[in-house]
């Protein structure tokens, strides 16, 4: 086996939740996810660009301390939107919060941080002509 064949590839973004129904409703409304499969404590979905997202409640199948490490924590990933203000309004309308107000970065992106209903925090960016040049 070559080392290259053993390099990791990115799997789904796993988002811990304390209420799978509430989380599913939020992510359908705010992210436009399409649910592919689900069970009592799990939802597998994709965004419009095909990014895989899994919403998961704590269960007996998790590692010890799973909930403390996965629910209400910072998710180190970045989402891009065409209209940051419109997106943040949708977040708030559906029960999320703005954690850090929009700020224009030296490279041109406009960034903000928001949280979902469980307090999971994400970075969201609006790319500008300067940032893609």
Domains, the chain, in order of start with CATH, read 4-132 (3.10.180.10)
Tokens of 97: 């919060």
Burial 1-40 (b: 16+ CB within 10 A, else e): eeeeeeeeeeeebebbbeebebbbebbeebbebeeeeeee
| CA–CA distance, 91 with 81 (Å, rounded to integer) | 12
pLDDT of the residue at 3: 82
Cα of 109 vs its chain's centroid, Å: 19
Please check the confidence at residue 131 and state whether its pLDDT lies above 80: no
Antiparallel, parallel or unpaired: β 13-17 and 52-57: parallel
Please check the confidence at residue 33 and state whether its pLDDT lies above 80: yes
Percent of the chain at pLDDT exceeding 70: 97
Q: Rounded to two decimals, what is the model's pTM?
A: 0.90
Contact 70, 94 (CB under 8 A): no
Query: How do residues 54-99 score in pLDDT, each as one tens digit?
Result: 999 999 888 999 999 999 999 999 999 999 999 999 999 999 999 9
Residue 42 has pLDDT above 90, yes or no: yes
What pLDDT does residue 52 have? 97
């Amino acid at each position: 086996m070559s080392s290259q064949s053993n390099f990791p590839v990115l799997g789904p973004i796993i988002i811990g939740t304390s209420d799978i129904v509430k989380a599913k409703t939020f992510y359908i409304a705010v992210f436009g996810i399409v649910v592919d499969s689900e069970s009592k404590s799990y939802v597998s979905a994709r965004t419009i660009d095909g990014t895989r997202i899994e919403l998961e409640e704590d269960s007996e199948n998790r590692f010890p301390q799973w909930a403390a490490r996965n629910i209400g924590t910072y998710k180190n990933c970045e989402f891009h939107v065409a209209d940051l203000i419109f997106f943040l309004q949708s977040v708030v309308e559906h029960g999320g919060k703005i954690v850090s107000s929009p700020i224009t970065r030296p490279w041109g992106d406009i960034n903000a941080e928001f949280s979902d209903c469980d307090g999971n925090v994400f970075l969201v960016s609006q790319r500008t002509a300067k940032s893609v040049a």
